[in-house]
């Protein structure tokens, strides 16, 4: 009997090598090469020839005659904001991938979601990581009303789970998680590229054939990206990212990919003793404990299409050791270094011998360019020991010349500030509104409004 050939395949990018190496030359990741059996080339060619002969002409239909609701209408998740993120609720036949850090609350969210959906649909919760007793303990802690239509199964067999989905007995199936599943036909270990791709493909085909909505849980890497092959993200209909601080603060669910809706929406949750709860007014919750001191600035940001008011805090201290330290929580560190350089060059602030710390309150992560002006004013406030008026919000992008540039959705930012009782907004001069205190550059903003 001929000896099976093996190759070493990178679990990050899929590149293959004849021998094992500590570092993948394609994606530069360490310790990601796993040994896998290579199928015989003659057998592959033979299979391709058979496939060519066994193919048949497809049955086609006019696009105008296709029913968009052939599997039924959307149904709710029990969380109104999560319905908006999904594009209007759960669509029958859709396959969704939920990814997040360990311990952030993925299983809690899905068990709450399953309990709500089970009031209208037969739901199956499949876990390859937890036993039935563990899931029962979590269900009791959440104190939810669990329907008789909510069922549980413990399995790591992708074949068995796909067969259960294909039976059509359940309208909604949760699989936790894809990295624990294994196909009988593949000899490699669970979690490898071939196992994840094969199991995902099998589940997707079963879901599409029966109109069953499926949620698949995915693990993430140390960098926060989805573990496994990128092809899994391409195959599913929706990719949801569960983000936030696992020990406190707000947690957000946003759609990284959505074939049925926008990718600009976000649902904000807060973890309590009875599970996750939607935050109805996140701006008010974020500002509830604010103290107006130097280094504190309120910023009007946009999280998807939702306006939010968040507090930006800065602390500036003399450097005790060789090089000044720059630290940012919830804000890009490279962007912070750039803004510090702009402040030094375009204003009279001397920051080259100062340690600078920036924090976004509530555990949020800002990617909005409109945060530039708020971060700069917070640093200037902390450095000079002066406070900004506590009824003023700030937003605007800062250019390398120190100029303040316009940002999108200014009207919604202003409306949110007015709703929460603020009296003015420091913003680019291009925004035409009586509520706005217009500024053209950083020096203008600091001289006019940093005066207390």
CB-based contacts of 322-326 (< 8 A; 24+ apart in sequence): 324/351, 324/352, 324/353, 324/354, 324/355, 324/356, 325/355, 325/356, 325/357, 326/355, 326/356
Give the integer Cα–Cα distance in Å for 163 and 371: 50
Which percentage of the chain shows pLDDT scores above 70?
93
3 pLDDT band, cuts 50/70/90, is low
Question: How many residues are listed for the chain in this entry?
Answer: 452
DSSP 65: G
Of 90, 161, 171, 158, nearest to 123 (Cα)?
A: 171
Of 90-94, 185-189, 249-253, 409-413, the range with the lowest mean pLDDT is 185-189
Give the integer Cα–Cα distance in Å for 222 and 206: 32
Region 420-446: mean pLDDT is 92
Q: Are strands 5-10 and 16-17 parallel, antiparallel or unpaired?
A: antiparallel
Of 194, 178, 174, nearest to 186 (Cα)?
A: 194
DSSP letters spanning 135-163: HHHHHHHHT----TTEEEEE--BHHHHHH
Mean pLDDT, the chain, rounded, equals 87
Count of other CB atoms within 10 angstroms of residue 323: 8
For residue 8, give both structure tokens: 């070493």
Give the integer Cα–Cα distance in Å for 239 and 232: 10
Read off the pLDDT of residues 257-295 as tens digits, 9 standing for 90 and up.
999 888 888 888 888 888 889 888 888 888 888 888 899
DSSP 182: B
Asked if pLDDT for residue 231 goes beyond 60, the answer is: yes
Please state the pTM of the whole predicted model. 0.75
At residue 44, the pLDDT reads: 62
Read off the pLDDT of residues 142-161 as tens digits, 9 standing for 90 and up.
876 666 778 999 999 999 99
More confident residue, 77 or 304: 77
| Residue 312: strand pairing partners | 297, 360
Give the integer Cα–Cα distance in Å for 84 and 77: 10
């Amino acid at each position: 009997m001929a000896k099976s050939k093996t190759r070493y395949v990178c679990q990050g990018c899929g590149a293959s090598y004849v021998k094992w190496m500590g570092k993948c030359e394609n994606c530069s990741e360490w310790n990601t090469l796993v040994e896998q059996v290579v199928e015989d080339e003659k057998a592959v060619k033979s299979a391709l020839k058979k496939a060519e002969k066994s193919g048949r002409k497809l049955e086609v239909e006019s696009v105008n005659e296709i029913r968009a609701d052939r599997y039924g209408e959307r149904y709710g998740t029990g969380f109104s904001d999560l319905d908006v993120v999904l594009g209007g609720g759960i669509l029958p036949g859709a396959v969704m991938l939920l990814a997040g850090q360990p311990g952030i609350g993925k299983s809690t969210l899905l068990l709450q979601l399953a309990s709500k959906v089970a009031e209208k649909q037969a739901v199956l919760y499949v876990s390859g990581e937890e036993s039935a007793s563990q899931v029962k303990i979590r269900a009791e802690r959440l104190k939810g009303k669990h329907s008789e239509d909510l069922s549980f199964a413990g399995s790591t067999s992708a074949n068995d789970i796909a067969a259960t989905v294909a039976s059509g007995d359940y309208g909604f199936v949760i699989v936790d998680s894809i990295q624990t599943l294994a196909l009988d036909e593949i000899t490699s270990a669970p979690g490898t590229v071939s196992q994840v791709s094969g199991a995902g493909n099998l589940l997707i085909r079963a879901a599409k054939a029966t109109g069953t909505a499926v949620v698949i849980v995915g693990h993430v890497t140390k960098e926060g990206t989805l573990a496994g092959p990128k092809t899994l993200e391409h195959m599913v209909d929706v990719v949801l990212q569960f983000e936030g601080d696992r020990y406190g603060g707000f947690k957000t669910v946003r759609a990284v990919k959505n074939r049925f809706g926008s990718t600009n929406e976000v649902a904000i949750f807060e973890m309590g003793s009875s599970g996750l709860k939607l935050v109805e007014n996140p701006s008010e919750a974020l500002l509830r404990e604010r103290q107006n001191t130097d280094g504190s600035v309120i910023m009007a940001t946009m999280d998807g299409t939702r306006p939010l008011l968040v507090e930006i805090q800065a602390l500036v201290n003399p450097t005790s050791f060789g090089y000044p330290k720059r630290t940012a929580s919830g804000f890009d560190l490279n962007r912070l270094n750039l803004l510090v350089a702009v402040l030094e060059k375009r204003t009279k602030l001397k920051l080259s011998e100062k340690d600078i710390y920036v924090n976004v309150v509530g555990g949020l992560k800002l990617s909005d360019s409109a945060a530039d002006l708020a971060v700069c004013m917070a640093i200037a406030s902390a450095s000079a020991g002066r406070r900004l008026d506590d009824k003023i919000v700030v937003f605007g992008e800062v250019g390398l010349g120190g100029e303040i540039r316009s940002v999108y959705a200014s009207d919604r930012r202003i409306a949110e500030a007015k709703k929460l009782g603020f009296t003015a907004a420091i913003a680019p001069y291009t925004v035409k509104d009586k509520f706005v205190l217009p500024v053209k550059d950083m020096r203008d903003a600091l001289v006019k409004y940093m005066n207390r």
